[in-house]
Structure formats: structure tokens, C-alpha cells
Amino acid sequence: MRIVLALGGNALLRRSDPLTTEVQRRNIRVAAEAIAPLAEEHSVVVAHGNGPQVGLLSLQASAYPDAEPYPLDVLDAGTQGMIGYLIQQELRSLLPPGHQVATLLTMITVDPDDPAFAEPAKFVGPIYDKQTATELAAEHGWVFRQDGLAWRRVVPSPKPQQIVEIVPVKWLLAHGAVVICAGGGGIPTAMGVGSLTGVEAVIDKDFAAGLLAEQVHADLFLMATDVDGVYVHRGTPEQRRLDWVTPEELTGYEFAAGSMGPKVAAAARFTAGTGRRAAIGALTDIARVVAGNAGTNVVAGKENR
């Protein structure tokens, strides 16, 4: 079975974690311990988030006042390499010596006229108090929005259109490698006249991973996060977890745009377009989610439950 596994941000950095290499390595080691057994039995592609890391690199770059600010596409590329390296190293230490693991820098095209550019909404970077956010906005021209009780930077998040490196991704999979790609939603680019140009944006990793799952013909698109599935009526006496659901049934519910909303939309889109299963569940339950015994499973029809 071919599985595209999208690691949620909490697999790399929890909200309260310091942005250190050792903390990220420790969290990634936990993820690798869950992924390695799957990779020994199945063809596995790993995608991941990068919001905190993009924000950190942007802040580090701003420490050099005489240098031009690094554009988001370059920062996206940097985080792909950094996070991919950590995942790759941890997986290689757990898999048999002959099992290849490869990280591929991945560009994904977007539409320059996507409405998202007019309304930045994608959270990146660490949290701030209101005063610090106001000062950073004035200094760098960044846009901030409230995220819970704190404030975070927001950037445009256009929809992914085409994975530029899909051919080498498929080649690596055909040769038995675990492939780490489309990290952080891919490096956002736009197709010009015979050339690709970087775009100042961050593509949502769940939408990018869903496109990746479609294009590599995945049998399962699995989004691993820090909760055991998708809940409706959350925080009320009617709260319940969805176990098996169709894309059509999902349209009857509303989910938070900044958290579960993109995951639900990406899962529904993948299943509606391919007829194959998508799932959302806890990282620690990966094996049970793959077996269909945990998480929220999105299937094409009730007969597939």
C-alpha cells in the first residue's frame, strides 16, 4: 500500500516548545518511531509543516539590517532542507541499512491571481504579545492576527496547483525509497514565460500533501496530528468524534479555519477526487489508523466503511 503521511506542526514543535534544534530532534524522533514500522511494510511519502521554522528563520535574517529580507520562498526552501534532514536522519537510524530515505526540495506552483494574496491568513512563526506584534508589524511591514490569547504573523496561503518535482518523487518511490517532500506545503512558485519565479507565500501543507497523494496515486492519505480524530460540536455536551464519514457528510459541519478546517477539506477533496481513503488521527495511533481502527476515516461511500 502507498501512504502519504502529513505530519502536523505538533509533530515537530508544540506551541510551548522553544525553537531549538534539540527540541525539534526529540519530537521528530517520536514521529520517526511511528513511521519506521510503516515504511518497512508499505511505500511511504512524508510531508510536514514548517510554520514555526519559517518564522524563526525570518527573524534570524532580520538581525542583519544591511541585508535584504529573505523572501518566503527561500525561507520555505531552507526549512524543507532543515526539517527533511532531521526526519531523514532519524528514520535512517531506525530502518534496515539498505532501506533508502531521501529528502527532495519540492517546488509547487500557485496562481499569482489567487485571492489569498489579498487576504493573508496563514499563521507562521512564534507567538507574541500584542505590543511586540505591533512593533514588529511597524518595523517589518508584517501582518499579524490574534491566535487564541496571543498574536502571530500571517502570510498569503494560495492553493497548490502542480508539484514541479513529481517525476523524481515517483522515481524514488519506484526504487523503494521513503521520500520526504513537499515540506511546509512546498516552495511556492509561479510559472512565467519559460521560467519559475518564487512567490511570497506559504502553501497550506495539508492541501499540498493532498495534491501529492493524488499525484503519486496513494492508497491512503493520512494526516497525523495531536488529537485522535475530528470532533463535531466540540466543547459542548453533544461533542463526538467522527469515525467513518463521507465527503458529502463532512459538508454539513463547520471546522476552525486555522486548525482542523484545512485537514478536513484536504481529506474530503482527496477522497471525492480519487475514491480512496483519507484519515486524520493521532501520531501515536498511526498503525491503528492505517488499519482503520482509529482516527477519523473519510471514504467514498457507506459501503466502504
Question: How would residue 305 be classed by pLDDT, with cut points 50, 70 and 90?
Answer: low
Catalytic residue among 50, 186, 229, 263, which?
263
302 tagged catalytic = no
> So what's the pLDDT on residue 300?
93
* pLDDT at residue 264 greater than cutoff 80: yes
Catalytic residue among 10, 27, 50, 297, which?
10
130 tagged catalytic = no
pLDDT digits (tens, 9 = 90+) for 134-184: 998 998 788 999 888 899 888 899 999 999 999 999 999 999 999 999 998
13-17, 78-82, 276-280 — which is least confidently predicted?
13-17
The mean pLDDT of the chain is 88
From residue 20, how far is each of 53, 106, 192 by CA, in Å? 10, 24, 38
263 tagged catalytic = yes
* pLDDT at residue 303 greater than cutoff 60: no
* Choice between 53 and 43, residue whose per-residue pLDDT is larger: 43
* Stretch (H or E) spanning 215: helix 205-215
Percent of the chain with pLDDT over 90: 58
* pLDDT at residue 260 greater than cutoff 90: no
> So what's the pLDDT on residue 62?
62
Question: How would residue 60 be classed by pLDDT, with cut points 50, 70 and 90?
Answer: low
Q: What cell numbers appear for 84 in the block?
A: 527533511
Tell me what the mean pLDDT of segment 274-303 comes to: 91
Q: For residue 284, what are the contacts with CB-CB under 8 A and spacing of at least 6?
A: 34
100-104, 112-116, 137-141 — which is least confidently predicted?
137-141
205 tagged catalytic = yes
Specify the long-range contacts of residues 228-237, CB closer than 8 Å, at least 24 apart.
Answer: 228/281, 228/282, 228/285, 228/294, 228/295, 229/280, 229/281, 229/282, 229/294, 229/295, 229/296, 230/255, 230/260, 230/263, 230/264, 230/280, 230/296
170 tagged catalytic = no
Tell me what the mean pLDDT of segment 278-286 comes to: 92
Catalytic residue among 51, 205, 281, 295, which?
205
CATH class as words, domain 2-111+159-298: alpha beta
**Distance, CA of 305 to CA of 302 (rounded, Å):** 6
Residue ranges per domain, the chain?
2-111+159-298, 121-155
Catalytic residue among 9, 49, 55, 186, which?
9
Catalytic residue among 122, 183, 281, 297, which?
122
| pTM, two decimal places | 0.88
Tell me what the mean pLDDT of segment 37-59 comes to: 82
User: Which residue has cell 521520500?
Assistant: 179
